[in-house]
Structure 1
Amino acid sequence: MHDPLSRPMAVLSRRTTLFLGLAALIGFQTGDATAQRRPRELHVFTSGGFTAAFEALAKQYERDTGVHIVTEHGPSMGDTPQAIPNRLARHEAADVVILARSGLDRLAEQKVVTPGTTVDLGLSKIAVAVKAGAPTPNITTPDALRSTLLTAKSVAWSDSASGVYIQSAMLDRLGIADQVRPKGRMIPATPVGKIVADGQAEIGFQQLSELKPVKGIRIIGLLPDTLQKVTPFSAGVVAYSPHQAEARALIAYLASPKAHRQIRDSGLEPVVAKVTP
């Protein structure tokens, strides 16, 4: 016997199925839009001076937010393909850059960094290292450092902010540029500490935060105060990043008190964040 309710129930079932299908489609599309607004990952370029601090902070940020951080490394300046300005010129995927302030300011002037997003994160000082087990040279005063450099058979410094200062300013201030530059090497990309550890240079200069992670060396100490150059390491949002708000949120996190312990442990001095126009 034909059930008079079967036809209406079949129609209702088809309508219900259609409604649920449409709801699922709308939900899927809404989910896609949310995923676009909240990226699952951010790409960050950082130079060596902030690398150790950022490695710890990126893990912490991922735990707190669920956003995956993809980290790439490169010098703040220089002619190597890995240098951050050169990578940005090629429009490699990037949302945030962290590098020496002088390099960041140049990127801001070139409109590669979004205006109003540059923030100082940590202050870095230059340190001196020798191979582990080597005699300890005296660098405690400018005169002692001058004597040490004149005696050294080979010297290395980076091709980034610290090395540019040593080669173009400090040696002149010590009055030994003509004697030391010929036996000095400006090292591109490779950490200076590794060059010293491998015995390719008797003494090396680089940011303390870049020397600390290197094995096989002994850090003698910082440059004397009257010769020291303090370099801010700073962050900015890449102008072509499709995730401007999320990149700003990451920088705010790096500049917050939550990040101070990791920054200090890496050999940098945390600074109170200040956004510049």
Structure 2
Amino acid sequence: MKAISSMATRHLLADLVASAASAGCAEVTVESVGGVDAERRVAAGEGFDLVFLAESALRRLAVGGHVDASTVTPLVVSQVAVAVRSGSTGPAELPLVPAFDDAAGLREALRAAERIGYSTGPSGTALLRMIDEWGFADELGDRLVQARPGVPVAALLADGEVDLGFQQLSELVGQIGVRILGAMPDDAAIDTVFGGVVATASADPSRAASLLAFLASEVVVPIKLAHAFGTV
């Protein structure tokens, strides 16, 4: 079977589908690309059995009839975290506290940063909306750098293209050349629910639905937590 996902869940899905195969579910190959590109390809009718994206994207695809709306299944909650460049050659570790005490501290960091990296997809959109609501859009202007589709913000940090980065926590953990400050503060949190759905182009929707049910089961919760995702 074939599936497509955004980059945010690629490492998680690799372990999830391996666990599913070990449990006797259908084997599936997951292609991970930028979320916007993934949605476009599914909408164009490309032959996937399963689609793993943010719930907002899955709803749009369902409205368009590209996926089976009755099979939309929330799987994990992902937090957006804040990171900076690090001189360390070791992998970025999971922090235990938020990056800032409150939104005020986050606003100060934004205003002090020379270049601010953010990702494509729902988390980047939410960050830009928040910045606009704070009245910072004009002030930050060209200091805001959107990562190219399929390129993680962690890479922009490690390469020195930005000095402050915002990305899904799961995509920052384990990356080289970055230091994770922590998740966004509670009063400025950006959380995204990622889910799965059976595509209308699936050649075997029943088997696809069975695999999706396994990925939503309690059996794989430890895998989700190990990848810095929250459960739904």
Mapped partners of 1:45, 1:173: distance in 2: 33
- 1:227 counterpart letter in structure 2: A
| 1:174 to partner: Cα distance | 2.9
Q: Is residue 100 of structure 1 aligned with residue 61 of structure 2?
A: no
List per-residue Cα deviations over 1:189-241 (Å, max 9, x = no partner).
Answer: 21111111111110110111121142211110011111112211011000111
Mapped partners of 1:222, 1:106: distance in 2: 28
Mapped partners of 2:131, 2:83: distance in 1: 17
Aligned to 1:152: 113
- CA RMSD, Structure 1 to Structure 2 (Å): 1.6
Mapped partners of 1:69, 1:195: distance in 2: 31
Aligned to 1:60: 19
Higher RCO, Cα 8 Å, sep 6+: 2
Aligned to 1:226: 187
| 1:66 to partner: Cα distance | 6.4
Aligned to 2:96: none
List per-residue Cα deviations over 1:13-55 (Å, max 9, x = no partner).
Answer: xxxxxxxxxxxxxxxxxxxxxxxxxxxxx11111122222111
TM-score w.r.t. length of structure 1: 0.76
Mapped partners of 1:85, 1:66: distance in 2: 25
SS of equivalent to 1:235: strand
Structure with greater Cα Rg: 1
Mapped partners of 1:173, 1:149: distance in 2: 14
Aligned to 2:148: 188
- 1:109 counterpart letter in structure 2: V
Mapped partners of 1:69, 1:43: distance in 2: 5
Equivalent in 193, 197, 207 of residue 168 of structure 2: 207
Equivalent in 62, 66, 88 of residue 42 of structure 2: 88
Whether contact under 8 Å (1:208, 1:222) holds in the other structure is yes
| 1:244 to partner: Cα distance | 0.3
Mapped partners of 1:64, 1:232: distance in 2: 25
| Structure 1: segments with no counterpart, 5+ residues | 1-41, 78-82, 272-277
Aligned to 1:235: 196
Q: How does 1:117-196 map to 2 (within 5 A)?
A: 117-133=71-87, 139-167=100-128, 169-189=129-149, 190-196=151-157
Mapped partners of 1:105, 1:115: distance in 2: 7
Mapped partners of 1:111, 1:92: distance in 2: 13
Q: How does 1:61-76 map to 2 (within 5 A)?
A: 61-65=20-24, 67-76=26-35
The runs of at least 4 consecutive aligned structure 1 residues that moved more than 6 Å come to none
Whether contact under 8 Å (2:59, 2:69) holds in the other structure is no
Aligned length in residues: 221
List per-residue Cα deviations over 1:145-170 (Å, max 9, x = no partner).
Answer: 11111111100101111101111x11
Whether contact under 8 Å (1:142, 1:174) holds in the other structure is no
Mapped partners of 1:195, 1:257: distance in 2: 36
SS of equivalent to 1:44: strand
Mapped partners of 2:216, 2:105: distance in 1: 37
TM-score w.r.t. length of structure 2: 0.90
Whether contact under 8 Å (1:95, 1:238) holds in the other structure is yes
Mapped partners of 1:133, 1:173: distance in 2: 34
SS of equivalent to 2:66: coil
SS of equivalent to 1:71: strand
- 1:211 counterpart letter in structure 2: L
- 1:171 counterpart letter in structure 2: I
Percent identical pairs in the alignment equals 30
Whether contact under 8 Å (1:52, 1:213) holds in the other structure is no
